[in-house]
Amino acid sequence: MRHIILLVLCLCAAPTHAADTLYFNANIHTMDAAQPRAESMLVRDGKIDSLGPLEALEQRADPKAKRIDLKGNTLLPGLIDAHGHLQGLGAFGMGRLDLSAARSFSDVVGAVKEQVARAKPGEWVLGGRWDHESWPEKVLPTHASLSSISPNNPVWLRRVDGHAGIANAEAMKLARISGNTGSPAGGEVIKDNAGEPTGVLIDNAMGLLDKALPDESATTADMLLKAQEMCFSVGLTSVHDMGLSPQEVAVYKQLEADGRLKLRVYALVSSFYAMRYFEEQGVYLGDRLTVRAAKAYMDGAMGSRGAWMLEPYADRPVDDAGKPYTGLSVSEPAFIEDLAKHGLEKGYQVCVHAIGDRGNREVLDAFERALSQAPTSSGPQAHPDRRFRIEHAQLLSPSDIPRFASLGVIASMQPTHCTSDMRWVDVRVGPERANGAYAWASLLRSGAIIAGGSDFPVESHNPFLGLYAAVTRKNLDGKPEDGWHKEERVTREEALRMFTCSAAYAAFMEDSIGRLAPRMQADFIVIDRDIMNCGGKDIPGTRVLRTVVAGETVFSAE
């Protein structure tokens, strides 16, 4: 009897089917090889029923179907950002100090001074997105002026790449950072000639400061929901959220249970927790939340000279001790190999941040060793669904480019990193090695798969800026005229594929999202111009008119 009652309850709780919705008078790019273009699309129960001429779809639609005239506007599959940080985006959206417009350290100090004037005594001032490469002097700052305008309020400001930050004296005092503090493995406490900390902490050294930070005043849920809202407004229907703690995953699960998580989130558990997490929790495949991947770090970033290189940096050939300086390894390659083996055993994906050419090579080597040593393996291709990923893959040795395809490793890359960094890459690594920087076309021609993303809030979360960067390799002023290393530009179809089909594949979701075809999820956007045919310079200004997830309109510009 109890089983019968439960069955009745389940049947009663089953959702009612929404009426058909027929979208017509549209310019549809489906990204589906079987039917690349269409003019109308019928959505039923949150999925795509059919695409084609209006007359044919009218015959399939329910007589009570809602009809939406798109007035000739362009309809695309929902865009997917394969590398973002939703909580960070939400924090800036809710008022964290954004220093991306600062054109000098004086600008940074001025912005902090205004924030301090509004802060309570002892209250932390948190911010980020400053970039010393945008300043005339192009050198890392020191804390003196920051400390003078904020003697009683601790200040912590992360660099735009998230791999460095500057603290004022009060923040360092609370974190117990002094001239006696040594640099941890995989990090650096920058010091002046007198041996005193300048306030700048690189990579793993940031952990010294993070331990002193207060709890966020806004809850994790608040920040995630704000980020969701921001993503929908620019046409993102799915995001791969990087490096989460078990507590953050739990917040996502609650948001999904409450029906407040509308964005499709592919969650990557931080490698600090991943092995234990997947031992205890296993893989989670929900309606809007998927947890089946781990995120690790091999090295730092080029902007703060933490990326791990095969040869010394051109603009910092030796360290303070006079030894060749090749950047930082923030993890041991053996750990990456162990994580990859564990992922193969437990059925979760392993994704590793690697930016420098040595960092990328070490990760490829670790993946190759893990595949060859796996008990069920008879070679790399014995694990067709492993889908290991390298996040960023910014600088590659030419000999390593073909290894992505041969090992089945996905390159998860962010096109706007190229157009932000191209100002200084040649100076960092020299013109010869720069030929292997952001090598999208070379990777694609070798047979590799590239998943597109932004690394927001490091870069803008607007995917149309990434599409523009991928096809032009120019900044928003149209410079350089022919594009930086123009041979690595990709076609518009290849660029759109990065942010749709390939990003879906990188999350094992290619059979449900990333293209518009019958039985696929009805995740799509309507935009005000045809980005596949408009002038290249017009792509960044694209305006999203409507964002739909599982047939539900989650954003409308009207």
* Coil, strand or helix at 199: strand
Mean pLDDT by 10 residues, the chain (558 residues): 33 48 98 98 98 96 95 98 97 90 93 92 91 89 94 93 92 94 92 94 92 81 97 98 96 97 98 97 97 97 95 94 94 97 95 98 97 64 74 98 97 98 96 97 98 97 98 97 97 98 98 98 98 97 98 95
Identity (one letter) of the amino acid at 156?
A: W
Rounded (10°) CA dihedral 21, 25, 26, 27: 150
Specify burial of residue 108 (Cβ count, 10 A radius: 0-12, 13-18, 19+).
buried
Pairing assessment for the beta strands 187-191 and 197-203 based on DSSP bridges: antiparallel
Q: Round to whole Å and give the CA distance between 207 and 316.
A: 24
Six-digit token pair at 66?
């809602």
The pLDDT value recorded for residue 214 is 83
**Which pLDDT score, from 0 to 100, does residue 376 have?**
56
Given this model, what pLDDT does residue 3 score?
39
Q: Supply the DSSP string of 530-556, one letter for each residue.
A: -TTTS-GGGGGG--EEEEEETTEEEEE
Backbone angles phi, psi at 264, to 5 degrees: -80, 120
CA-wise closest residue to 438 among 409, 472, 405, 407:
472
**Torsion on CA atoms 284, 289, 295, 301, rounded to nearest 10:** 180
Which pLDDT does position 6 carry in this prediction?
32
Q: What is the Cα Rg of the chain in Å?
A: 24
User: Cα(first)–Cα(last) distance of the chain, in Å?
Assistant: 52
Domain limits of the chain? Answer: 96-210, 218-552
| Residue 328 to residue 206: CA distance in whole angstroms | 14
Would you state the CATH architecture of domain 218-552? Alpha-Beta Barrel (3.20)
Judged by phi (left if over 0) then psi (alpha if -120 to 50, else beta), residue 397 lies in: beta
Query: In the prediction, which pLDDT does 382 show?
Result: 45
Q: CB–CB of 202/195 below 8 Å?
A: no
Residues 6 or more apart from 232 whose CB is under 8 A from it? 262, 263, 547, 549, 554, 555
Contact 330, 359 (CB under 8 A): no
**Do 96-210 and 218-552 come out as alike in CATH topology?**
no
Q: What is the pLDDT of residue 134?
A: 84
Q: 333-346 and 357-373 helices cross at what angle (nearest 10)?
A: 40
In this structure, what are the phi and psi dihedrals at residue 265, rounded to the nearest 5 degrees?
Answer: -115, 125
Q: With the CA atoms of 187, 193, 199 and 202 taken in that order, what torsion angle do they form, in degrees rounded to the nearest 10? A: -20
Helices (H), 28-168: 54-60, 86-93, 105-118, 144-149
Give the CATH number of domain 96-210; options: 3.40.50.720, 3.30.360.10, 3.10.310.70, 3.40.50.300: 3.10.310.70
Contact 528, 542 (CB under 8 A): yes
Does the pTM of the predicted model rise above 0.85?
yes
268-296 burial, b for 16+ CB within 10 Å, e for fewer?
Answer: bbbbebbbebbeeeeeeeeebbbbbbbbb
